[in-house]
Amino acid sequence: MPTITHIVNGDAFGDKLRASGIDGDILVWRESLYEGPIGMKMSDQALLALRAAYMHERHGIPKTLFIATSLEQEHKLDALASSADELVLWFEHDLYDQWMLVYLLSRMAPASARPFQLSLLCIDRFPGVDTFYGLGQLSLEQIRTLHGAWDAVTEPQRLLACRAWSAYSAAEPLALAELLAEDLSALPCLRQALQLHLGRFPSTQNGLSTLEQLTLGLIGDAEVSVLSLFRDVAAQALEYGLGDLQFWGMLNRFWKCEKPLVSIAGTERLPSFGEALALGFEGSRAKLTKLGREVLEGRLDNIQLNGIDDWIGGVRMFGKGEIWRRNSLDNRLVRR
């Protein structure tokens, strides 16, 4: 009997897919590829050590756990490639999923060299769902209607994914920006992901990314609930696929930096990996500092104030001096 394995993002949807009764094994891919150091081969030991250190410092994920989990899923993927009759990739339109999808497609051999069928289901909407943000929101009945709705991955799709991953993991970002000028119709959700990714670079106006600008703007002149702020940012930036850990990491950088842009009352620290919300965390509130207001309004620059120590794809962003930035007027990347 033919064996099918479904590769999905997230345990929540993996559990639902399993409960739906759709035939096949399930491999949940657990990796946030829009964070931390990125390279062509994500199982590279040196790269894994860098990523583990980043994820530990940023989110409190134990280094040994991160490395073990990363290697385990890479090994499982290699084993499936030689044992499964069909692999079905289930992904969404958001930035989080698109980089995962591009990476997995880039890991696959050409169709002529594959002993299995490779199929893809990638959606950005669902009939009757007004605001679609992910497969995990669908009911079991809705998921069952997607059985067999996947299509065979074409060679143009695989080749485009290889080019996109190569550009994404490069140390310079211009190849990725140039990709936007090309025909990307083979992967219909990729263009939006590329545009969102460029928005992750600090602007020339005030040194904030698009998501950071949104976050500070939603605080504005008020003192707001930290939990409500996360919900509001996530709701207004559905296309990012923003998780709570990623949001806490961003907010923490505004709070614990050299010259804070945000002050937070009601808690001594934000949640990290594996932690339940602390007692009383619901009462935590955030507000802009004077410097935060000036940065938001473009009168000061966050990079000049606090510097940057991060990765955007394969691009290392460090210091207070010349780095890659996004021109807010035309969305082009410049180095300044």
Residues 106-164 have pLDDT tens digits of 999 898 888 899 999 999 999 999 999 999 999 999 999 999 999 999 999 999 999 99
Mean pLDDT for the stretch of residues 73-77: 93
DSSP helix, strand, coil percent of the chain (3-state; round to 5): 45, 15, 40
C-alpha distances in Å from residue 182, one per residue of 33, 185, 186, 315 = 23, 9, 11, 22
Looking at residue 312, the DSSP 8-state letter turns out to be E
The CATH fold assigned to 4-197 is Dna Topoisomerase Vi A Subunit; Chain: A, domain 2 (3.40.1360)
Amino acid at 82: S
CA dihedral 172, 296, 227, 318 (to 10 degrees): 30
| pLDDT tens digits along 255-283 | 999 999 999 999 999 999 999 888 889 99
Residue 59 has pLDDT above 60, yes or no: yes
d(CA 174, CA 201) in angstroms, rounded, equals 12
**How confident is the model over 292-305, as pLDDT tens digits?**
999 999 999 999 99
Residue 1 has pLDDT above 90, yes or no: no
- Count other Cβ atoms within 10 Å, centred on residue 210: 20
Q: Sorting pLDDT into bands at 50, 70 and 90, what band is 92?
A: very high
Check if the beta carbon of residue 71 is closer than 8 Å to that of residue 79.
no
- Domains of the chain, by residue range, sit at 4-197, 202-335
Q: Report whether pLDDT(318) > 70.
A: yes
Tokens of 196: 């969102």
Asked if pLDDT for residue 5 goes beyond 70, the answer is: yes
More confident residue, 2 or 210: 210
